[in-house]
Structure 1
Amino acid sequence: TNKVRELRDKADNISHRIGVLSGKDEIKLSEANLIAGQGGRGGPSMQSILQQAFPFYKLEDVDLKGGETEIDEGIVGLIITQPGKELTPKELRRIDQFVMRGRSLLVVAGAANLKSSDSTMKASLNLQGLDKLLTGYGLEVSNDVALDWGRLMRIPMMTQSGNIQWVFLPGIAQVQYLPGISAEQQMLDNSFAAFFRIEEIAFPYPSSVTLHPDKQPEAKLSVVARTSPRTTIASGEGVELRPSADIKPQPPFDQRAIAAVVEGKLKRAMDPPAEADGIEVPATSAADARVLVIASGQFLTNPFARAGQGPDLGPQFAMMGNVGGDEMLQAISQPYAQKYLTTTILALKNTLDWMSGDSDLIAVSAKILGEPNLTYANIQPPNLTETASEEDIKAEVDRVKAARKKTQTSVQWTLTLLLPAVFGMLGIALWQLREKKRSTLSLD
């Protein structure tokens, strides 16, 4: 399918130009941070995978240069990854100006800032000015980290004494689609384009998101990803996020939105400054615009491969492999990549389709993961509360799956046995009617 699309775009001279904000010490899509490097070879990057598998998208760096540079009108969508520097008011107004053209904006950033090759994984909390822009669009990202204890990721590790010890990763939100649950509690909206038919995906160290519909009265705001109800919030100057066997939750618990979208006729997010800055931003968008916030700065990375890799020693030491890296983090990065890397790549590809307005092939891409399941109104949805543990959530999901399997079995046997029996009985009845009419006939 992707090859057909590539040939079509080449024949029709279609170019899908996607801008990626640069110049802010951001997490780059070109970073080799998806798997731990081995044998002196760096792993793949998200950008290299996109270029190889989906060449019909052209990623271009966009350096706003302090707001002096306008974003090219030929760019159909802009991606902002986790910035390491504060965005200036002029830069935020340039982004707002771009969105007001009726364009798409994807923000993959939260409050947690983690340095590459920092095995301590101590996060500083700073939204780098993005909160001023996003709140204007009705999507408020909080200066915190949501720790999900209801869907707790655990990895078995071998200790020096040879024993098995379970290491907890509460900062990884394993967001799962739960069939039959209400929209207000649904963890993953897999009817939304970016997560279409995806059953489960990871959001590393997300921040909580609050919707403000009054900011955008002519647009539609919706949450597309949530944690489980058993989630706590961490805030302060520094948050310890390194995996540990001794971490324990600190109540209160609550379900948190961690990804949200606004679509429609948008109002500008940034008010004009007191002194003119030469940037013209219309009050409302020229056409329907869309903004998607995934409040997880590490969403497009493998956070353990990125934190656990050794420092860059230059090409002369390349054959020595990943020298000085953290062995525990590198070990954790392997099962993480196996479980979530494919769905993360697919989610990004779906998002690019959504940003470019070419969403026709999203359903085709979803077939990589399988066909959709039917829903049954007679099955009681999962009952999730803030006291629900990981085992409780798993039990509710298993109950719904078992009930769905029972219903499917009933439907299967009904179609296999009951319908043929009904047709057989109908045939016998018609045969008897014909015989009865025949017996009443006379030659007179």
Structure 2
Amino acid sequence: MVQPRMGMADPLLMRDGLLATRAAAAVTVGTITLDSYTRTGDLAAARRALADGVGLNGYPIAGHPVDVTRAVLRGVADEGFPVQVRHGSALPEHVVRALLAVGLDATEGGPVSYCLPYSRTPLREAVEAWRRSCELLASIREFGAEPHLETFGGCLMGQLCPPSLLIAMSVLEALFFRQHGLRSISLSYAQQADRRQDEEALTVLRQLADELLPDVDRHIVLYAYMGVFPRTPAGARLLLADAARLAVRTGAARLIVKTTAEAHRIPTVAENVQALETAAAVAAGEGRASAVSVQDTGIEAEARALIGAVLELDADLGRALVRAFAAGYLDVPYCLHPDNAGRARSSLGPDGRLHWSDVGSMPIAGLAGGPRPPILGSADLLGALSHVQWSYDARAAADPLPPDTPATAIPSTNRSPAARRELGLTTP
């Protein structure tokens, strides 16, 4: 399955985006990505922006009337085309209440992954808010629904975070979700800069999920690279194609795509559809997933050590996560949140592999072989952040993929006043 990251404030545009995603030549999942005001809980500001016609960078699900959002989804969202709400909120109860009110039951995030990179919220408060949110989401199972929650833990900081920590956070957040009632969970991982390292990481993530979450309906979701994207359309297509191949080879069930516009601006609906169809075509050409032969470089040992250290701290996963960060057993490199120890550092090798330069107090010293590379200075850090962009733009210049074929025609909502009234879409 392929999925965009798409959110527009106007209900008609949001409906058009969902219709276009559904009509794409691919097996797709719909997305409603929320605006920044709603993410941070400033619902009054979101409503003022709607009233004043001010542009928002996503869909204000708690700002529009419930009937309006239900009209957006009518005839679009169903069992064959699920729609997921993506948000980025450290305190997500208002988001969960709003999505349940309009008939949706799938979202994503996590008590750590939506707190440390994006917020100043104390981790303890985020953990408690996510506990309540999980229990609220799980409560609809008594009405026959099966809510779904995707951990964002495998995408911490997007880049320059070694795979073992991404895997550990994804698994730990999934265990947190299960502890608070969820039984349908996806575990995320973000594509990094080296294919072989990513294949090993995704293989380990699947093994640990199978071992530690045997009673949960689960799948792996891969994010196309989340760092500085290639500036050329050909370079961006190459990177997306590699993400699609990686997803197939490692048995990931869902791919979050990026577009050729990623380095420059928010992509259009047409560009999102083109990315969906490009990824689906590349995946189809890769064939069915088969067992990937991977070299053991210590990722599994490190991930197991991190997970085990946290689980030993407390039977309650929320308390264990808070204690783990306080002790430095979990430490996200380059993350400036006050509850993060900030001692861990990572670096990028010439081949694109991520390495620990300093593990701080994390219980993984000596588990990965070889000497540790030096801690990056500012110039080297900037170079590491731009490594993928430069390498893929250079590859594209030497051996570009064929240009994109035109995307599937994009359906559009009838915008006549009568059609708007029929849908109940009366807001500007």
When normalised by structure 2's length, the TM-score is 0.28
| Structure number having the greater helix percentage | 2
When normalised by structure 1's length, the TM-score is 0.27
Q: Give the number of the structure whose alpha-carbon radius of gyration is greater.
A: 1
